[in-house]
């Protein structure tokens, strides 16, 4: 059960990742642009159109809503829910923890009323690489798969020089994209999000109530994109200061000594 979805037909979606055509069905919409560079094609992901159609039908099944769980540091999980209401499907991205009760940390929503971005590049890579040591933990453990599953929530104007290469490697490694297409696809996925502009991410300055000392929000980045759930807001509302600091450490932006280097 996921709090807030008790009456919905959720099913574990991890098994879909190995289906032919899954990654094209999940990511191809992000490759659409307004230029004349060509429409995205299943072949870019090394897939067959019939397989992509079948995988997409499972992703938007109104009777079974696939959920992808990505456990990371300190018992936190990033969760992707395909919210398949009739004629109103969408995808929700959020962070949760067993100690938070019914609270979620909203990351992004993909639908007609989109909200995002929800992750900086630094956070995305940190979550992707924070694979639990216990292989029996439910959820997705492959770093490449974790990176690609959370990629639609990304929006960061300060991408590092190796971002395209990292995504390209993931596309080849788990999606089966041809090496000759992977760099082109990675560029499309990273450089022109269809739903929001790249944003800046920063740890907020000192709270006026703190006497000008400690930064607010316990080291968790905030986003300057006005469509983002994290626009001037805590990632998880209502959790304790200790829980918020543990979340920041799990996201790789805070340590016992203060903000992690390069945490912008």
What SS3 state is found at 174? helix
**Residue pLDDT, tens place only, 111-141:** 988 999 999 999 999 999 999 877 778 899 9
Question: What is the Cα–Cα distance from 62 to 25, expressed in whole angstroms?
Answer: 16
Model confidence at 142: pLDDT above 60: yes
> CA 70, CA 98: separation in Å to the nearest integer?
14
pTM above 0.75, yes or no: yes
Q: What is the dihedral of CA 60, 21, 165, 146, to 10 degrees?
A: 50
CB atoms within 10 A of CB 208: 8
- Give the pLDDT confidence of 91-106 residue by residue, as tens digits: 999 999 999 988 899 9
Q: Which residue has the higher pLDDT, 230 or 209?
A: 230
Least confident of 44-58, 137-151, 173-187, 212-226: 212-226
Nearest to 117 by CA among 16, 219, 174, 193: 193
pLDDT bin (cut points 50, 70, 90) of residue 88 is confident
**Measured between alpha carbons, how far is 176 from 170 in angstroms, rounded to an integer?**
9
């Amino acid at each position: 059960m996921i709090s807030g979805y008790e009456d919905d037909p959720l099913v574990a979606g991890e098994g879909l990742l190995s289906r032919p055509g899954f990654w094209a069905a999940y990511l191809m919409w992000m490759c659409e642009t307004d230029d004349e560079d060509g429409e995205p094609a299943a072949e870019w992901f090394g897939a067959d159109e019939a397989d992509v159609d079948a995988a997409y039908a499972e992703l938007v099944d109104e009777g079974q809503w696939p959920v992808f769980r990505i456990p990371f540091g300190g018992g936190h999980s990033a969760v992707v829910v395909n919210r398949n209401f009739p004629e109103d499907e969408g995808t929700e991205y959020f962070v949760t923890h067993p100690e938070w009760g019914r609270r979620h940390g909203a990351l992004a929503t993909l639908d007609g009323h989109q909200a995002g971005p929800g992750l900086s590049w630094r956070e995305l890579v940190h979550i992707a690489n924070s694979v639990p040591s216990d292989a029996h933990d439910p959820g997705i453990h492959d770093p490449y798969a974790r990176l690609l599953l959370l990629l639609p929530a990304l929006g960061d104007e300060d991408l590092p020089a190796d971002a395209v290469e990292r995504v390209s490697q993931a596309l080849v490694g788990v999606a089966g994209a041809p090496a000759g297409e992977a760099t082109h696809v990675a560029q499309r996925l990273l450089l022109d999000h269809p739903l929001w502009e790249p944003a800046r991410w920063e740890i907020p300055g000192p709270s006026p109530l703190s006497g000008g000392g400690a930064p607010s929000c316990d080291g968790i980045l905030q986003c300057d994109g006005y469509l983002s759930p994290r626009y001037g807001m805590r990632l998880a509302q209502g959790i304790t200061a200790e829980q918020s600091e543990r979340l920041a450490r799990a996201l790789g932006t805070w340590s016992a000594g203060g903000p992690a280097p390069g945490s912008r």
